[in-house]
Structures are given as C-alpha cells and as structure tokens.
Amino acid sequence: MGSRFPSHQLSNGLYVSGRPEQPKEKAPVICSTAMPYTGGDIKKSGELGKMFDLHVEKSRKSGPLGNQPSRNTSFGGAGSNSGPVSNAVGRSNYSGSISSSVPGAGGSARAKSNSGPLNKHGEPGKKSSGPQSGGVTPMARQNSGPLPPVLPTTGLITSGPISSGPLNSSGAPRKVSGPLDPSVSLKMRATSFAHNPAVTNLNADDGYSIKGSIPKTILWLVVLLFVMGFIAGGFILGAVHNPVLLVVVVVIFCFVAALVIWNVCWGTRGVTGFVSHHRDVDLRTAKDGQYVKVTGVVTCGNFPLESSFQRVPRCVYTSTCLYEYRGWESKAANTEHRRFTWGLRSMERHAVDFYISDFQSGLRALVKTGYGARVTPYVDESVVIDINPDNKDLSPEFLRWLRERNLSSDDRIMRLKEGYIKEGSTVSVMGVVQRNDNVLMIVPPSEPISTGCQWAKCILPTSLDGLVLRCEDTSNIDVIPV
C-alpha cells in the first residue's frame, strides 16, 4: 500500500514515518594531559611561573610505590608529586592521577596510594594551609594557597604591633601553644622597652626644679650680696650700735628665702597653670615652625606601652616611681636623700610616638615623643600602694615587682606612684608644628621655652625643654573609646 510520506521499519517490527537515520561515526576520544598538582607553588604552575620570572623546575619522583614498573599513568608520563588514586574509592581526585580505567595502571599501584606531595622518604607529606616558613624546594612540604605579597615600606604608623609573639629562624611568627611564663614575658617586655629605639627612656626627673628657674650667675650674685650685707650690718652694729642695716638685710633675706620656698612647693602647679591657661591653636591655620598648644584625644602608634605595676595596656606614656621615707636611722634612697623626707629610689618613664586629634579642627597630628626626643611630662601620678614593715607581706604583687628589679624589701617605708596616658585620654601638647609631605607633626622646639614670671602667684620663670605633655590623673576617669 503506497503512501506519499516515507516510512521505515524499526528493529522491533514497528513502522514509523520518516527516513531511517544514517549511522553516525563515533567521535574519536581525545586524551588530554592532566595538570599536575602544584600545591600553590608558582614554580610548578607553568606559564604563571614565567610571569613571575621563575624557572620552571621539573618535579622529581619521590620513589616508586610498591612494585609499580612505571609511572605512565600519572599525568601524561611527567613526574609528579601526586600518587595514583586507589581503585577502591571509585572516584577521581584533582590532586591524584587519572582513574584506573586507563590502561597501563598496575594493580600493585592501585592497591596502596595517596594523594598529595611526598616527602624525601617516599611517604605522603602533610598538607598545610597558608604560607610556611623557610625556602620552597621540590622535596619540601607543599602549601595550598597563594604566596604572601611583599608590601613596600610606607613609614605610616599603624595601631598595634606588626607581628606578635616570638619569631622563628626565617623571621616568620612562630605559634606557641599555651600561656608564656609571666616572669619571662615581663623580662622580655622590660628588655624591649630599654633597647627599643622607638621608646624614649625618661630616667631623670625632668619636672620643675628651682635650679632651672634661677640662672647660676644670678644665684651666686645674690648669695654674695647677702654675705656682704650681713658682714656690713654686723660691723655697723658693733661699731656704731646701729642695727638698721642689719635689720634691712635680714628682712630682705627672709623675703627671698620665702620666695624660694614658695616656688619649691608650688612651682609645679605654676607650670601646669601656665600650660592650662595657654591658648589652644587651630591646626588648620597653624604655620610651619609655629610654637602651639594642642588639646585632643590620644591614639596609639605602632608600639603601644604597658604600665609597669598595674599593667594598663595601650599607653603612650608610662611612669612608675618608688619613693622611700628616711627617718633618723633609715637608709638613704639616693645620694641626695635628706632625713625626714621622701626620696626617689627607682623610676621608670617611657614615651613613644602617638597621634592626637585636635578638638578645634578635628585634624590628626603625629606627636614625635619617641626615638629619644626631649620630653617634659607633667602627668599626674596616683599613689598605688603604701608599704611599711607591718604590711609588706600583704602585697605579693609588690614584692614580685621589687624582685624583678633587684630591689631589697627590708624594713623600709615605701610608696609606689604610677601615672600613664592611655589611648582615649585627653592630653595637652606643646610643641612646634612641622608639615612634611602633607603629614602634620608636632616636634620638640630647638630651644627651651620660658614661662615668664607669674607675678600674681609669685612664681619665678622656668624653662620648658622639648615637648610638654600635660595630662590629669586618668585612673578614675573614663576615657573616650577610639
């Protein structure tokens, strides 16, 4: 029976419309060479290694596994660090060789194999994530992930140290499990403060001194005049029996002595009053080389400090002073310690560079108080602990602090004071403005600055050398979080 539409019969006997399909030729199977496992090594990445001007090194075999005669099933005949995958797994692995369906894979090689690099003994090595220390060789441990970029040195001060913890032989941070010994960590911190060039050690008492207020020439001239006045007054009193000159000399001497004693007792307050009443300068209008006073909030630089006794973290200035009271039979704290007075026995003062954010302009300036700069601190210190022979055993922390500094703890009356400027505190800084490549800095002046006479308070002039730091006691004041 004829039909206008062509039809054909299938193999099962059914008739379907349409012409029978012509058998297609089977496409040839093209086998591509698998890429070797590089483990993050640029030297084994082919063209990528050439981009970094690295010579591509041929991987050496790590030794045969079992009785396998050849490694022709692993990555197109080239030696590789990755062994064949076991046939029992039933799946392919990117870091292993091609599956066991490829002819030529030996049974002994399929019996025991591992994926990943092999060490120098022919055993599979451990994989680690991230960069490892030491040089990378064909036999060394392989890493996954890119190599760390080498950043150029910019000179910017960032918050927090660059690396924390001990370093290994190649300079990379070494991981240590568990807490460190407290005594060892304290010694390491004290050593780092003493030998770090970024830390300024203020071991001398740079506060107010009456000797710095009166020049030596004027002081010796006044002493000579008083001696001559007493001699002349005594001669006239004995010869003419006229005590007027002697009385005048005694009155003038008492007035000068009272003025000196007043300045010894209240001279520090006079300097802090001068700093407090000095007008703040807007950093936006400050000229290069101008002596200014800036008040603002402190931010740490790249090397924050920690207080010695209370261990207050993230400070830019720390001061810990130990004083002793000398009675009639007590020992002297220093060579200039007089009886029935408090004498300084130990002092630890450190300062580093920090940032200050101006309250008026909002600008951020770098204060150069580190690297051995001249600094005159007027930071209030609070009494931390008072020790006498009766209660010295009640403070083990204080005894530990004395042992770390090789100080005796015998029957003495001692007082420990500590002051600090921590991050977020409000500080007043007096120094010279310096602009360098759009970086605003406050540096020490080249010459000391005189405060002048404060006639209303009977305060003699004194000299302020270097940068002046003024901060009130912040032990009981909440700081501004930054």
Per-residue pLDDT 10s for the chain (482 aa) are 455 667 777 777 777 777 777 766 666 655 555 556 666 665 666 665 566 555 544 444 444 444 444 444 434 343 334 444 344 333 434 334 333 333 443 444 343 444 455 554 555 554 444 444 444 444 444 444 555 555 444 444 444 444 444 455 555 555 444 444 444 445 555 555 667 899 999 876 666 777 777 788 888 999 999 999 999 999 999 998 899 999 999 999 999 999 999 998 888 888 999 999 999 999 999 999 999 999 999 999 999 999 999 999 999 999 999 999 998 888 888 888 989 999 999 999 999 999 999 998 889 999 999 999 999 999 999 999 998 888 877 788 998 999 999 998 788 899 999 999 999 999 999 999 999 888 899 999 999 998 888 888 889 888 899 999 999 865 555 555 55
Half-sphere exposure of 250 (CA within 13 A, CB side): 7
Tallying the residues shown for the chain, one arrives at 482
Q: Are 421 and 351 in contact (CB under 8 A)?
A: no
**In sequence order, what are the residues at sequence separation of 6 or more whose Cβ sits closer than 8 angstroms to the Cβ of residue 353?**
157, 198, 301, 302, 303, 316, 366, 367, 368, 369, 370, 371
- How far is it, in rounded angstroms, from Cα 155 to Cα 462? 37
Instruction: Report pLDDT for 171.
Output: 52
Backbone angles phi, psi at 377, to 5 degrees: -90, 135
Q: What is the largest CA-CA distance in the chain?
A: 173
Q: Are 324 and 286 in contact (CB under 8 A)?
A: no
Q: Are 387 and 324 in contact (CB under 8 A)?
A: no
What are the CA-CA distances from residue 310 to residues 160, 291, 306, 345, 458 (Å)? 20, 35, 9, 19, 38
Instruction: Report pLDDT for 76.
Output: 39
How are beta strands 315-326 and 341-351 bridged, if at all? antiparallel
Instruction: Report pLDDT for 123.
Output: 53
3-state secondary structure of 51: helix
Instruction: Report pLDDT for 228.
Output: 95
What are the CA-CA distances from residue 39 to residues 53, 59, 141 (Å)? 19, 12, 9
Helices (H), 278-332: none
Any idea which residue has 């911190």 for tokens? 189
Any idea which residue has 């924390």 for tokens? 164
- How far is it, in rounded angstroms, from Cα 258 to Cα 172? 63
Q: Is 132 left (phi over 0), alpha (psi -120 to 50) or beta?
A: beta
Instruction: Report pLDDT for 192.
Output: 59
3-state secondary structure of 244: helix
Instruction: Report pLDDT for 330.
Output: 84
Backbone angles phi, psi at 184, to 5 degrees: -65, -45
Instruction: Report pLDDT for 249.
Output: 94
Instruction: Report pLDDT for 455.
Output: 87
- Residue-wise pLDDT for 87-105, tens only, equals 433 343 433 433 333 344 3
Instruction: Report pLDDT for 416.
Output: 94
- How far is it, in rounded angstroms, from Cα 290 to Cα 442? 10
Claim: this prediction has a pTM higher than 0.75: no
- How far is it, in rounded angstroms, from Cα 141 to Cα 126? 7
**In sequence order, what are the residues at sequence separation of 6 or more whose Cβ sits closer than 8 angstroms to the Cβ of residue 194?**
201
- How far is it, in rounded angstroms, from Cα 55 to Cα 381? 63
Rounded (5°) CA angle 206-381-338:
60
- Residue-wise pLDDT for 117-171, tens only, equals 555 455 555 444 444 444 444 444 444 455 555 544 444 444 444 444 445 555 5
What are the CA-CA distances from residue 146 to residues 93, 136, 206, 402 (Å)? 21, 13, 52, 50
Q: At how many degrees (to 10) do helices 396-404 and 182-195 cross?
A: 50
**277-281: long-range contacts (C-beta < 8 A, 24 or more apart)?**
278/430, 280/359, 280/360
What are the CA-CA distances from residue 231 to residues 224, 234, 263 (Å)? 11, 5, 28
- How far is it, in rounded angstroms, from Cα 151 to Cα 95? 31
